[in-house]
Structure 1
Amino acid sequence: MKNFFVVVATTLIFTNCALAEEPKPVENLSNLVSNALTNNPELKASQSRWQMFANKSRQASSLEDPMFMFKLQNMLVREPFVFNKDPQSAKVIGISQQLPFWGKRAIKQEVANYEAESFKWSIEERKLELTRMVKETYYQLWAVDKGLEIVDKNLKILADFVTITESKYSVGQGVQQDIYKAGLEKSRMLDMQITLKQQRKSLEANLNYLLYRPGNTPVGTIADFSLPLLPLTAEQLNQTAHDKRPQVKSLISLANKGQASHRLAQKEFYPDFNLSFEYMFKEAISTDMVSDPGYDMFTVGVTFNLPFQQQRRRAMLAESTSETNMATEELNGLKNNISYTINDTLAQLDRRRKLVELYRGGIIPQAEQSLESAVISYRVSKVDFLTLLDGRMTLFNYERELYESQAEYMMKLAQLEAAVGIDLVSAPVLQMTAPLAAVPEQAPSQAAPASGHIQHH
Structure 2
Amino acid sequence: MMNPVRTALLLTFPFWLMACGTTPVQPVQPAPPAGWEYGQGVTDAWPARDWWRGFASTELDALMQQAQANNPDLNAAAARILQAEAQARIAGASLLPNVDAGLDAGRSGIVDQGGGSASYSASLGASYELDFWGANRAQRAGARAALAATAYDRETVALTLTAGVANSYLQVLSLQERLEIARLNLALAEEILRVVEARVSSGAGTPLDLARQRAVVARQRASVQPLLQQERDARATLALLLGQVPQGLAVEGQLADMLIPQVMAGLPAELLVRRPDIRQQEARLLAADADIAVARAAFFPSVRLTGAVGTRSDMFSELFSGDLLYNLGASLTQPIFNAGRLRAQRDLSEARKLELLALYRGAIQQAFAEVDLSLSNIETLAEQAFQQDIELTQTRRAFTLAEARYREGADDLLTLLDAQQSLYQAEENNGLLRLAQMQAIVTLYRVLGGGWSEAEQTSAR
1:339: which partner in 2? 368
1:194 positional shift = 1.0
SS, match of residue 400 in structure 1? helix
28, 36, 52: which is aligned to 2:67? 36
Q: Are the counterparts in 1 of residues 131 and 137 from structure 2 also a CA contact under 8 Å?
A: no
Q: 1:367 to 1:450 in 2, by over 3 A?
A: farther
2:112: which partner in 1? none
Q: How does 1:49-128 map to 2 (within 5 A)?
A: 49-63=80-94, 65-66=98-99, 95=125, 97-102=127-132, 103-128=134-159
1:268 aligns with 2:298: yes
Partners of 1:177 and 1:244 in 2: CA distance: 64
Partners of 2:180 and 2:172 in 1: CA distance: 12
Q: 1:168 to 1:351 in 2, by over 3 A?
A: same
1:395 aligns with 2:426: no
Q: 1:177 to 1:31 in 2, by over 3 A?
A: same
1:228 aligns with 2:261: yes
Q: Are the counterparts in 1 of residues 136 and 294 from structure 2 also a CA contact under 8 Å?
A: no
2:198: which partner in 1? 167
SS, match of residue 99 in structure 1? strand
Q: How does 1:40-439 map to 2 (within 5 A)?
A: 40-63=71-94, 65-66=98-99, 95=125, 97-102=127-132, 103-223=134-254, 224-232=257-265, 236=267, 238-277=268-307, 300-309=328-337, 311-360=340-389, 362-423=390-451
Range with greater deviation from structure 2 (307-316 or 254-263): 307-316
Range with greater deviation from structure 2 (99-108 or 320-329): 99-108
- Whichever residue aligns with residue 396 of structure 1, its letter is Y
1:277 positional shift = 4.5
Partners of 1:376 and 1:296 in 2: CA distance: 114
Partners of 1:277 and 1:54 in 2: CA distance: 31
Partners of 1:135 and 1:410 in 2: CA distance: 9
Cα offsets for 1:399-454 (capped at 9, x unmatched)? 11111111111112112211111249xxxxxxxxxxxxxxxxxxxxxxx99977xx
1:140 positional shift = 0.6
Q: TM-score, normalised by structure 1?
A: 0.74
Q: Which stretches in structure 2 are left out of the alignment for 5+ residues?
A: 1-56, 105-115, 313-322
Cα offsets for 1:279-309 (capped at 9, x unmatched)? 8999xxxxxxxxxxxx999764321112214
1:386 positional shift = 1.4
SS, match of residue 28 in structure 1? helix
Partners of 1:353 and 1:280 in 2: CA distance: 82
Partners of 2:380 and 2:191 in 1: CA distance: 36
Q: Are the counterparts in 2 of residues 274 and 303 from structure 1 also a CA contact under 8 Å?
A: yes
Q: 1:299 to 1:199 in 2, by over 3 A?
A: closer
Partners of 1:347 and 1:113 in 2: CA distance: 39
1:217 positional shift = 1.8
- Whichever residue aligns with residue 230 of structure 1, its letter is V
Give the alignment's Cα RMSD to 1 decimal: 3.2
SS, match of residue 98 in structure 2? coil
Q: Which stretches in structure 1 are left out of the alignment for 5+ residues?
A: 1-25, 72-79, 82-90, 283-294, 425-447, 453-457
Q: 1:65 to 1:142 in 2, by over 3 A?
A: same
Range with greater deviation from structure 2 (112-121 or 324-333): 324-333
- Whichever residue aligns with residue 234 of structure 2, its letter is L
Q: Give runs of ≥4 in structure 1 deviating > 6 Å.
A: 67-71, 91-94, 278-282, 295-299, 448-452
* Aligned residue-pair number: 375
- Whichever residue aligns with residue 408 of structure 1, its letter is A
Q: Are the counterparts in 2 of residues 101 and 271 from structure 1 also a CA contact under 8 Å?
A: no
Q: TM-score, normalised by structure 2?
A: 0.74
1:258 positional shift = 0.5
- Whichever residue aligns with residue 41 of structure 1, its letter is P
1:357 positional shift = 1.7
Q: 1:61 to 1:399 in 2, by over 3 A?
A: same
- RCO comparison, higher one (Cα < 8 Å, 6+): 2
Q: Are the counterparts in 2 of residues 138 and 222 from structure 1 also a CA contact under 8 Å?
A: no
Cα offsets for 1:312-362 (capped at 9, x unmatched)? 2212221221221222211111122222222222222112222222222x1
